[in-house]
Amino acid sequence: MRAEADPASPPRRFETVLLDAGGVLLDLDYAYLKRLLDARRCFVTEEEMARAEAIARTEVDRQVRDGGRSGEAWRDYFRILFGRVAAPPAIHEEMIDALWGAHEQVGLWTVPVYGAVSAVMRLREAGYRLGVVSNAEGRVERDLKSAGFGGLFDTVVDSHLVGVEKPDPRIFEIALKRLEARAETSVFLGDVPAIDIVGARAAGIAPVLLDRHGLYPAVDAPRLERLDDFPDWLAAATPEP
């Protein structure tokens, strides 16, 4: 586990834990993506796709830092992913269209991140109020349920359904209001600094970055490489009463 307390912030006693969905709790369905690529004679391993996907997320981070919206980065995100796995440029746009159609019908981020269900169970057993805050397309609660998270969260805030997306602090405020929680006793775990760290901090919530591929070593927030380390990090970061 690699994480250090934020030296700029005093210790907090956390009561509420908010988490992102895609990239934190749910992974892209790499097996489905592999089948699409295999059918076009572009052979790549799921591990190679996972690394390429993480790098594509850094482009989303950059675009948001430059003033863009995360939802507008969809096509660039997949272009980078396909480029990193050497998929021929001629198939990029057709693949992206196919993936958007699949995402609208059945979702693409549907596979639980390794250790995520057990980590959330540990958080629940520790007595935290739990919520999800996700930039999504209206189906994230169903995807979480089908991935094994059913009944584990007290609320799920889907940007498509509430009309505001991260890093706008209002989406976090919606979650806090639903949970009857306070920002100063809440923590948020996300994976894209410009969206998750910036947004949580703007809402007065302590941010933690899940950096599973070591792409953000200089981020100005506590950083974890494994989700299943998060419950222990929380316990260590929370001062005794």
Higher-scoring residue by pLDDT: 231, 84: 231
What is the reported pLDDT for 62? 79
What is the reported pLDDT for 7? 38
Contact 48, 86 (CB under 8 A): no
Contact 153, 29 (CB under 8 A): no
129: left (phi over 0), alpha (psi -120 to 50) or beta: beta
What is the reported pLDDT for 239? 64
pLDDT band, residue 60 (cuts 50/70/90): confident
What is the reported pLDDT for 56? 85
Q: pLDDT for 12-45, tens place per residue?
A: 689 999 999 999 999 999 998 889 899 889 898 8
Task: Quote the CA–CA distance of 80 and 65 in Å, as a whole number.
Answer: 18
Q: pLDDT for 96-127, tens place per residue?
A: 888 888 777 777 889 999 999 999 999 999 99
pLDDT band, residue 6 (cuts 50/70/90): very low
Contact 175, 133 (CB under 8 A): yes
Task: Quote the CA–CA distance of 213 and 188 in Å, as a whole number.
Answer: 19
Mean predicted lDDT score pLDDT of the chain? 89
Contact 143, 21 (CB under 8 A): yes
Task: Quote the CA–CA distance of 104 and 172 in Å, as a whole number.
Answer: 24
What is the reported pLDDT for 11? 53
What is the reported pLDDT for 77? 84
Higher-scoring residue by pLDDT: 49, 157: 157
